[in-house]
A = this chain, B = another copy of it.
Amino acid sequence: MRITALGFTLAAILVATAAGADTLSVAEVGSFHVGGRPVSLSGLPTRDVVFTAGSAPIKVDPNGDFEVEQMYVQYVKLAKPKARYPLLLWHGGGLTGVTWETKPDGKPGWQLFFLRAGHDVYVSDAVERGRASWARYPEVFQGEPLFRTKKQAWEDFRIGAPGSYKLSATERTALPGQLFPVDAFDQFMKQGVPRWSTTDAQIQAAYHQLVQKVCPCVIVVHSQSGNFGFNAALTAPDKVKALIAIEPSGAPKPEVAAAGTLKGVPHLVVWGDFIAQSPVWTRFVPASKGYADALRAAGGTADWWDLPKMGVAGNTHMLMMDKNSDQIAGMIQKWMAEKGLMH
């Protein structure tokens, strides 16, 4: 029996070695669309479209029936998750779920980090972004799409100070000590997608449906999705087991948190560096500050991480892509464990 036990041990070691220390045991990889509504368009004029250069135009009738305003969700489910609930990663404005995948410099992103930490991970694209698709405007969406420029991303994401952006990568001056992989900045810009400024209600509605479909869960939000996440927790406090807001660009009014609905939903708000040097973020921070304070006053948990004050300097708005992204993810993982969210 002793020899058999030894055999077991040896076999276990060999299996682990063959597969590699970081190998994931994955039960399922998959995706779905959720939310949205059917819409029928009529009365639009037909158009002449040239499908192949040089060939005669073909009449295209844009009228008909469509599905619009759904969102896209992709998941990796582990064979043996160590987390009690799946982890949902919600991206910010003008971006998609790609935010959480491999970083623009080719290094592993938070999707892989949290899979390796034992979470089932759901990465989604909000309504009108990426694989969620987008709908005809102005017939379905109001207004026109907005395309983020490199200058906006460079300066608003606090990689460089306002006014420091240049077209030439070699002429751009980054903030001293900042941690975004600047050599991969143009590569990062390939991840950007157009956005509308008029679709908040549709985005929020699809997120609510996502929560109903896959939660109980823990949600990590970033930037524009901060507000969507806070509202998701308020709407389904029984299903959202924790909310981790990475640099949320907005929040509901403090009065909403004061009701105490969220006493059982621990919140964590995380901020990077250089906030005082950014007019945009100086303006955005107070909303979630007021919300977190109200939540705490109502007896809830709202931890507020000002990373530089905690000795972690140099983080930009895209801290899941910064050079210390694993360190930040590790701190968040520890917070989740302390909140009883791991088995």
Binding site for B on A (CB under 8 A): 3-8, 10-12, 15, 18-20, 22-33, 36, 38, 40, 47, 49-53, 60, 62-67, 70, 72, 74, 76, 79-80, 96-98, 101-102, 106, 108-109, 111-112, 115, 125, 130-131, 133-136, 143-144, 146-147, 149-152, 167, 186-187, 189-194, 197-198, 200
CA distance A279 to B76 in the complex (A): 41
A122: min CB distance to chain B, Å: 13
Q: Which residues of B contact A200 (CB under 8 A)?
A: 52
- Asked if B66 and A32 make an inter-chain contact with CB atoms under 8 angstroms apart, the answer reads no
CA distance A102 to B33 in the complex (A): 10
CA distance A15 to B187 in the complex (A): 41
Question: Does more than half of chain A's interface fall in helix, strand or loop, or is it mixed?
Answer: mixed
- Asked if B4 and A10 make an inter-chain contact with CB atoms under 8 angstroms apart, the answer reads yes
Q: Which residues of B contact A198 (CB under 8 A)?
A: 50, 53
* Copies assembled: 2
- Asked if A101 and B80 make an inter-chain contact with CB atoms under 8 angstroms apart, the answer reads no
- Asked if B33 and A187 make an inter-chain contact with CB atoms under 8 angstroms apart, the answer reads yes
- Asked if A134 and B64 make an inter-chain contact with CB atoms under 8 angstroms apart, the answer reads no
- Asked if B96 and A19 make an inter-chain contact with CB atoms under 8 angstroms apart, the answer reads no
Q: Which residues of B contact A146 (CB under 8 A)?
A: 49, 60, 62
A104: min CB distance to chain B, Å: 8
Query: Mind listing 15 A-B residue pairs with CB under 8 Å?
Result: A3-B3, A4-B10, A7-B11, A11-B11, A15-B15, A18-B79, A20-B79, A22-B28, A30-B101, A33-B187, A52-B200, A67-B189, A72-B98, A96-B131, A130-B131
Known: A98-B31, A102-B32. A65 touches B150 (CB 8 A): yes
